[in-house]
Amino acid sequence: MPDVVLDCRGMRCPRSIVEMAKKMRNMEPGQTLELWATDQVALHDVPAWCQKTGNPLSSQEQEGELLKFFVKKA
Amino acid sequence: MGNRLSLVISTDHLDKVCSAFTITNAAAASGIEVSILFTCWGINVIKRKGARPRGEGFLAGVMNIFSTRGPDRLPVSRFNFLGLGSWMMRRRMKAKGIQSIPEMMADAADLGVHYIACDNPMAIMGLRREDLIDEVEAVVGATSYVQEASEADITLFV
């Protein structure tokens, strides 16, 4: 179960990443953020962000246009 | 390694400044420390609303009249047509969920991006430190920038 859900549907690069970074600042290590995005570049950018920042991407789901990413705060 | 980005913004064209801030914010959100040197027409991006040269004579005044007034009024580099192209671009950006330059600059400030301004173009435009937005940390010369950029892992010129 995610601790925080962040709805970034309709936002385009780089806004969903910026919103995720801002949200993660206020989370505790070990907590999980569920990011909703419709920007298809998130398929590349979210894993890239996770790799760069060291916050692991636990899993991801796709429901048509909607992408869901589960990111754990390191 | 790989944690400092240094950019030069030398233009006030909406399309190019948009690219610069897109990369800036993606980097800053990824934990990279970003600093931007604004030079040449890039000074217009960090100009305070209503800034104008004072006691600088006729030519500086004329230059100011024809200059970009701030980040919400940047022209596009192609098909500007006295601002119509810029208006169309801003409409299209908004319709597609792309942030405006002022919105991206607000995020950049929130993410702790550093702004520095180049002194020479300010002298040409007749502008002073108080004519620039508060986020600008220093007005410098090229040597300060080069020293700073030499410690960066990524450098980009826009």
What pLDDT, in 10s, does the model give residues B77-103? 999 999 999 999 999 999 999 999 999
Select which of A3, A10, A12, A13 is catalytic. Answer: A13
B25–chain A nearest CA distance, Å: 7
Q: List beta partners, residue B155.
A: B6
Residue with tokens 């969920």: B97
> Which residues are CB-neighbours of B84 under 8 A, at least 6 positions away?
none
B30 touching A (Cβ < 8 Å): yes
B29 touching A (Cβ < 8 Å): yes
Kindly indicate the confidence band of residue B126, based on its pLDDT and cuts at 50, 70 and 90. very high
State the Cα–Cα distance between residues B16 and B155, nearest whole angstrom: 16
Q: What's A4-72's CATH class?
A: alpha beta
> Which residues are CB-neighbours of A48 under 8 A, at least 6 positions away?
none
- A24-30 mean pLDDT: 96
Domains and CATH numbers, chain B: 4-157 (3.40.1260.10)
- A12-26 mean pLDDT: 96
ipTM, two decimals: 0.90
B111 touching A (Cβ < 8 Å): yes
User: Which pLDDT score, from 0 to 100, does residue A39 have?
Assistant: 95
User: Which pLDDT score, from 0 to 100, does residue B1 have?
Assistant: 58
Query: A13 catalytic, yes or no?
Result: yes
Residue type, B34: V
Kindly indicate the confidence band of residue A2, based on its pLDDT and cuts at 50, 70 and 90. confident
State the Cα–Cα distance between residues A18 and B134, nearest whole angstrom: 22
B5–chain A nearest CA distance, Å: 14
Residues A12-34, buried b or exposed e (16+ Cβ, 10 A)? bbbbbbbbbbebbeebeeeebbb
